[in-house]
Amino acid sequence: MHTVVESIATGNPPLRKPQPEAAEFMQQIERLPEPLRARLPRLYEQSAIDYRYSCVGDYGEDDPSAFDFFPENWALEPAPSTRERNEKYREAAIPLAEDVAGRALDAADTTADDITHVIAVSCTGFFAPGLDIELVKRLGLPADTERTFIGFMGCYAAFNALRVAHSFCQSRPDARVLVVCTELCTLHFQIEDTLESVVVNSLFSDGAAATVLSARSGHEATGRLAYIDGQSRLDDDSMEDMTWAIGNTGFLMGLSARVPDVIADHLPGYIDDLLHANDRESADMDFWAVHPGGRAVVERAQEVLGLDPDDVQPSLEVLRQYGNMSSPTILFVLQRILERQVQGDGAPPDRGVAMAFGPGLTIEGALFERV
């Protein structure tokens, strides 16, 4: 049996904010120290991001009297509590997840009754009954749909979901697995007297993506893209370089400037191991989906893997149009790659590698190949 990627659907909250306007909003926050305010425009300009999305409508307002999430002042004090942010998460995440999931089912020509498993992924909010149950109820999936939730893993979590989906597909010939990644990162922006906080606030965005994977026989899978294998690699010396913790005023991110270099140190060996385990070489790949955690991350990956500019163009384009949306982002990149014609004869890509990076530091990735 093959694990076939049937469809990918992506979506975002309504507010689309140009990056220069996002910088202007942050500059108005009174408790941000002047030296950091002065650096904001340049930092945002260097991000290689043109637009980001948010479920927080306040980021689109010029007058704090119109705020309905933050207090009505430019100090943004008292800061919304973790409880208040989580309530907003539940309000916004459910319809966004339902939307992308429904469109993924339609694109896969799959009915609700066909789905055997749901895997929900998120690290920006929690509630129970959870997002997995909400999807079963709202999409009209069978009551015996098997459910899995993957939480608090960050930007690489989609690969853990794909690995679980692959296991389901290899163990059940009738498996039809719906994976839904939903992240509302902008709920947790913090106003702190650190450059690290300013950089985090300049990168992250809100979005969701869903994919349907199916178990298919060799005949059914012919000509279709399949998940072949996945691998994980943990750097034991970088536990504190990227962190995600729960605080009293939301979730708190730690992001070291070392991250791109640490990833670059381990990525070539990781790719070699993944490909050699499947009797493949880098030269066999005709696409590379790199999680755009930031411009420096993509550029360092391109450098150490010896990729052409065109290889990382889809990653940089997703970063430019959306920012870093955490777990859904790699599915945005894969969707873009699969939709464009990368070969001279107009044929779809035959094989490639996707990868993402997150707390640990961890590299997660997968090999895909057309059957």
Amino acid residing at 107: A
The answer to whether 233 and 24 are in contact (CB under 8 A) is: no
How many whole angstroms separate alpha carbon 330 and alpha carbon 82? 27
Q: Write the DSSP string, 68-96.
A: SSS-SSTT--SPPPHHHHHHHHHHHHHHH
pLDDT at res. 190:
94
Rounded Cα gap, residues 238 and 166, in angstroms? 29
On whether the CB atoms of residues 53 and 19 are closer than 8 A, the answer is no
Catalytic pick among 55, 155, 181, 185: 155
Q: Of 145, 112, 149, 105, which Cα lies nearest the Cα of 129? A: 149
Q: Could you read off the pLDDT of 79-138 as tens digits, one per residue?
A: 999 999 999 999 999 999 999 999 999 999 999 999 999 999 999 999 999 999 999 999
Residue 93's CB: how many other CB atoms inside 10 A? 27
Neighbours of 46 (CB within 10 A): 13
Helix (H) / strand (E) element for 319: namely helix 309-322
Beta-bridge partners for 290: 355
Q: Helix, strand, coil shares of the chain as percentages rounded to 5?
A: 45, 25, 30
Cβ–Cβ under 8 Å, residues 130 and 190 = no
Q: Mutual orientation of helices 19-27 and 195-203 as an angle, nearest 10°? A: 140
**Catalytic site residue 155?**
yes
Which stretch, 115-124, 255-264, 346-355, has highest mean pLDDT? 115-124
DSSP states along 183-195: EEGGGG----SSH
Residues β-bridged to residue 79: none
Q: Label residue 347 by pLDDT band (50, 70, 90).
A: low
What distances in angstroms separate CA 324 from CA 71, 245, 249, 265, 288, one per listed residue?
Answer: 26, 18, 21, 22, 17
Protein fold of 225-370: Peroxisomal Thiolase; Chain A, domain 1 (3.40.47)
The domains of the chain are located at 225-370
Which regions of 123-166 does DSSP assign to beta strands (E)? 146-151
Kindly indicate the confidence band of residue 294, based on its pLDDT and cuts at 50, 70 and 90.
very high
And the tokens for 15?
């507010």
Q: What is the pLDDT of residues 191-239, one digit of tens each?
A: 998 999 999 999 999 999 999 999 999 999 999 999 999 999 998 889 9
**Token digits for 100?**
């992308």
Q: Which of 228, 162, 180 is nearest to 368 (CA)?
A: 228
Tokens of 16: 């689309």
Predicted pLDDT of residue 348: 75
Neighbours of 74 (CB within 10 A): 17
In which band, very low, low, confident or very high, does the pLDDT at 342 lie, cut at 50, 70 and 90? very low
- Report the DSSP pairing between strands 225-234 and 206-216: unpaired
Q: Which residue, 289, 316, 294, 312, is CA-closest to 302?
A: 312
Q: Which residue has the tokens 């010396």?
A: 237
Q: Which of 147, 144, 125, 126 is nearest to 135 (CA)?
A: 147
Q: Report d(CA 156, CA 351) in Å as an integer.
A: 20
Q: pLDDT tier at 345 (50, 70, 90 boundaries)? A: low
Q: What is the pLDDT of residue 237?
A: 87
Average pLDDT of span 257-278? 96
Q: Are 158 and 331 in contact (CB under 8 A)?
A: yes
